[in-house]
Amino acid sequence: MLVAQRRAVETADDYVADVLDELGTPVAADAETVPEGLVGVASDGRELDSLMYGAVITAKGRVAKGLGVAQAWESGLTALIQRVQTQVADAARASTALSIAARPGVGYVRMLNPPSCARCAVLAGKFYRYNRGFPRHPGCDCRHIPARENDADDLRTDPNEYFNSLSTEQQDTLFTKSGAEAIRLGADVSQVVNARRDMSTDSLNVAGWIPKGRLTRTEVYGQRLATTTEGVTRRGAAYRAMSQAGYARRQTDVRNGRRYFQAKAPRLMPEALLEIAEGRDDALRLLKLYGYLT
């Protein structure tokens, strides 16, 4: 593990310099980085051994819950592999971030390492300043592209090109069947994926956006349909689309007495819209009405 981390960090300076040269925007570093301090340390600052031992705790916990030894061992091994992958990738990202910070005017663009999840896909190609954190989840293997802007024009930095590069089965798996179908009909990838952050669900995970349980349905227009609150305030795409149909109202925030605008009708999830649509034309109309399609 230490060897893997060391190899991941030792080439960061050369990598950043080579990428900037390739993009035609070379920038000399103002300071020399010392990435060796990242070796042997977990992403959260604890000793690496402590994090790795968590896989043993995972396996023992499965045994305590009644799983067989083989199943418990497999779950522990899976947890260990995920930890190793995440820590090696995080060490590489951290060392790259150090090298980027040492160069004035340089930030980074997020690059996918396919196959990538839907949440990573919608961030592909986004430019971040040198001091912005790298949004990732356990097991994420996305990379930095050091740059002044998004000069890396390929599928790894474009959500739509990435989606189109996948097979129908892969699209359904990574973006859900209904979400993928909505995107294939022309819906915006970001709107479809981000809608799931605030969709109606019985519980959320610790990150606050991935549904821990099944998607729940609420009573809407006499039917039980899946809804979301993503994008329904005045600055949101859903609000702008829904307000044209008269689905918006002014309200008063009781916390400070200020006026604010919010859609008065619930925003339906893509799966709900495809469920109630009476054919393709109606599906396109509904996707546009709720801000998924422009």
Q: CA 58 to CA 31: how far, in whole Å?
A: 42
> Residue 166 above 90 pLDDT?
yes
* Residue with token string 């819209």: 273
The token pair at 77 is 């091994």
List the Cα angle 89/50/48 in 5-degree steps.
35
Domain ranges of the chain: 2-157, 166-289
> Residue 169 above 90 pLDDT?
yes
For residue range 278-293, what is the model confidence (pLDDT) as tens digits? 999 999 999 998 899 8
Do the Cβ atoms of 243 and 206 come closer than 8 Å? no
Q: CA 189 to CA 160: how far, in whole Å?
A: 7
For residue range 246-258, what is the model confidence (pLDDT) as tens digits? 766 555 444 444 5
> Residue 172 above 90 pLDDT?
yes
Q: CA 227 to CA 272: how far, in whole Å?
A: 8
> Residue 175 above 90 pLDDT?
yes
pLDDT at 252: 42
Do the Cβ atoms of 54 and 79 come closer than 8 Å? yes
Neighbour tally for 48: CB within 10 Å: 19
Q: CA 266 to CA 113: how far, in whole Å?
A: 36
Amino acid residing at 88: V
Where are any strands of DSSP class E within 2-149? 107-111, 127-128, 143-147
Q: CA 233 to CA 263: how far, in whole Å?
A: 6
Percent above pLDDT 90 for the chain: 46
End-to-end CA distance of the chain, in Å?
48
Pairing assessment for the beta strands 267-268 and 227-228 based on DSSP bridges: antiparallel
The token pair at 97 is 């971030």
> Residue 179 above 90 pLDDT?
yes
Report pTM.
0.72
Output 272 or 229, whichever has higher pLDDT: 272
pLDDT at 181: 95
Q: Residue 242's pLDDT band (boundaries 50, 70, 90)?
A: confident
Cα dihedral 275, 279, 280, 285 in deg (nearest 10): -80
Q: CA 294 to CA 189: how far, in whole Å?
A: 11
For residue range 28-60, what is the model confidence (pLDDT) as tens digits? 999 888 888 899 989 888 888 889 999 999 999
C-alpha distances in Å from residue 10, one per residue of 33, 91, 133: 10, 10, 21
